[in-house]
C-alpha cells in the first residue's frame, strides 16, 4: 500500500469511527430546563460532544463577515505592526499581540518547549507548492475585542447553561482563540493535552482542566478537522512519545477520530483529551472559534502566567473577578442584539449588571486587553 493510499484509508476509517460514536445531536434540555442528561453522559464518557446547529445562518454569516475583516486587518506577517494595506494592524495598540503565524503545512510547535513542552512529538510536515506564501495565519487570540459577533456568541445563553452543567454555576473563563487552517496551506498542531498545571493534583479528575467550546464557521472534514482520541480525558497525563513509538513512529494514531462538524455546530471538548490536527493540504478551509471555561476550584489560587510581566502568579479573587466581567459583558451584548432570547444569569456577578452593560465605554474599560487576565492552567 502506498503512503497516499494509507493516508486516505486512515482518514476514511477515522470518519467511520467518529460517526459511530453517537456523541452528537442538537442541544436539548429536559422538562426542568436542564441540559439533557444524554448529552452530559456522552460528554463525560468520550470527552467531547458535537452540539449540532447551535449557530443559525444569520449569526453565522455575521461571524464570517467579521472574521474576514479581522484577516483583512491582521499584521502583514510575523512581527509586523501594519496590515497588508500599510495601516496599523488590528492588535497594534494592544498589550498582548494576538496573531500567530506558521510556515505552510508545517508543525511549528511539535517537539518544542512551547506550552511547557506539551507538544511532545513532531508531526509529519508536508512540502507546500512553490507559489505558497512564507507564512499563514494559525491562531488569533483576544477575538472578543476584534469581533462583536464573537463577543455575542461568547454570551450565548444555552451554551452558558452547558457550561454551568459541566463546571458548576460559579464557573470562570479560561481564554479564547480562533484557529485558522487555510485551504491547502494550514499548519499542523501536534498531539497534546491542554492542561498544564494540575496533573499531579490529588483531586485530579476528568474535568479538572476545564473544557473548550469549538464553534465551526465552515464544515470540517477528516483532512482539516481537529483529531481526538476518545476517552483520553480521564486517564491522566499521557506519554505521547511512547504512543507514537508504539505506532511504528507514525503520528496517525489508530484510535483517533476527526471532529466532524457542519457550519454552525459547536463542539464541547475536554481540555484533557489527547488531540491534534494534521497539515491541511485539502481544498477546504477550517475556521474554529474556541472559547473555554473552568471550574472555579481549579483556578482559585492556582499558579499561572502574568501576561504583562511574563512571570508566574497566583490567580486571586481580583483577577478572576476582572476576567469574569467579560462573561457578563457578553451576556448583555447578546441580549441587546437578540432580545427575544432568554437571559442567562451568571451567578458570580449577580448585582453587578449595571457596571457590565455593553457599550462603547465598556469596550474600552472592560474589554480592551481583557486577555491579559486569561486564566490558563
Nearest residue to 268 via CA among 291, 286, 295: 291
Q: Are strands 99-102 and 48-52 parallel, antiparallel or unpaired?
A: unpaired
Other Cβ atoms less than 10 A from the Cβ of 2: the count is 7
Distances (CA, A) of 348 to 159, 209, 291: 17, 20, 19
Which domains, ranges and CATH numbers included, belong to the chain?
3-373 (2.60.120.620)
* 119 touches 111 (CB < 8 A): yes
Other Cβ atoms less than 10 A from the Cβ of 134: the count is 10
Number of helices and strands in the chain (H, E): 10, 14
**HSE-CB of 309 using CA atoms within 13 angstroms:** 6
Q: How many whole angstroms from its chain centre is CA 233?
A: 16
- pLDDT (tens digit, 0 to 9) for every residue of the chain, 377 residues total? 445 666 889 999 999 999 999 999 999 999 999 999 999 999 999 999 999 999 999 999 999 999 999 999 999 999 999 999 999 999 999 999 999 999 999 999 999 988 888 999 999 999 999 999 999 999 999 999 999 999 999 999 999 999 999 999 999 999 999 999 999 999 999 999 998 888 899 999 999 999 999 999 999 999 999 999 999 999 999 999 999 999 999 999 999 999 999 999 999 999 999 999 999 999 999 999 999 999 999 999 998 877 777 788 999 999 999 999 999 999 999 999 999 999 999 999 999 999 999 999 999 999 999 999 999 98
- Find residue 305's DSSP bridge partners: 312
**Distance of alpha carbon 292 from alpha carbon 272, whole angstroms:** 12
Amino acid at each position: 500500500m502506498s503512503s497516499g493510499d494509507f493516508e486516505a484509508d486512515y482518514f476514511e476509517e477515522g470518519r467511520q469511527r467518529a460517526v459511530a460514536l453517537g456523541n452528537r445531536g442538537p442541544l436539548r434540555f429536559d422538562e426542568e430546563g436542564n441540559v439533557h442528561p444524554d448529552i452530559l453522559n456522552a460528554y463525560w464518557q468520550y470527552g467531547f460532544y458535537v452540539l449540532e446547529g447551535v449557530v443559525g445562518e444569520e449569526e453565522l454569516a455575521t461571524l464570517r463577515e467579521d472574521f474576514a475583516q479581522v484577516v483583512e486587518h491582521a499584521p502583514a506577517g510575523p512581527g509586523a505592526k501594519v496590515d497588508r494595506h500599510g495601516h496599523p494592524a488590528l492588535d497594534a495598540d494592544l498589550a498582548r499581540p494576538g496573531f500567530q503565524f506558521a510556515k505552510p503545512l508545517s508543525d511549528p510547535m511539535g517537539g518544542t518547549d512551547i506550552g511547557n513542552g506539551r507538544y511532545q512529538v513532531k508531526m509529519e510536515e508536508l512540502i507546500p507548492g512553490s507559489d505558497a506564501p512564507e507564512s499563514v495565519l494559525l491562531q488569533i487570540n483576544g477575538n472578543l475585542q476584534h469581533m462583536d459577533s464573537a463577543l455575542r456568541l461568547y454570551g450565548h445563553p444555552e451554551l452558558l447553561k452547558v457550561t454551568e452543567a459541566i463546571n458548576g454555576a460559579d464557573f470562570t473563563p479560561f481564554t479564547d482563540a480562533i484557529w485558522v487552517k487555510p485551504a491547502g496551506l494550514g499548519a499542523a498542531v501536534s498531539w497534546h493535552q491542554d492542561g498544564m498545571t494540575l496533573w499531579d493534583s490529588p483531586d485530579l479528575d476528568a474535568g479538572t482542566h476545564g473544557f473548550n467550546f469549538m464553534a465551526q464557521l465552515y464544515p470540517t472534514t477528516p483532512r482539516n478537522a481537529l483529531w481526538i482520541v476518545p476517552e483520553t480525558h480521564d486517564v491522566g497525563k499521557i506519554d505521547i512519545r511512547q504512543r507514537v513509538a508504539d505506532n511504528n513512529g507514525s503520528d496517525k494514531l489508530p484510535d483517533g477520530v476527526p471532529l466532524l462538524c457542519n457550519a454552525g455546530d459547536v463542539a464541547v471538548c475536554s481540555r484533557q483529551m489527547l488531540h491534534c490536527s494534521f497539515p491541511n493540504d485539502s481544498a477546504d478551509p477550517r475556521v474554529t472559534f474556541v472559547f473555554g471555561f473552568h471550574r472555579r476550584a481549579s483556578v482559585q489560587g492556582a499558579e499561572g502566567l502574568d501576561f504583562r510581566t511574563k512571570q508566574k502568579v497566583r490567580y486571586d479573587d481580583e483577577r478572576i473577578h476582572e476576567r469574569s466581567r467579560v462573561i457578563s459583558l457578553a451576556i448583555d451584548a447578546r441580549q441587546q442584539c437578540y432580545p427575544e432570547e432568554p437571559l442567562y444569569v451568571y451567578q458570580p456577578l449577580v448585582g453587578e449588571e449595571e457596571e457590565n452593560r455593553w457599550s462603547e465605554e465598556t469596550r474600552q474599560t472592560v474589554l480592551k486587553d481583557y486577555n491579559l487576565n486569561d486564566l490558563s492552567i
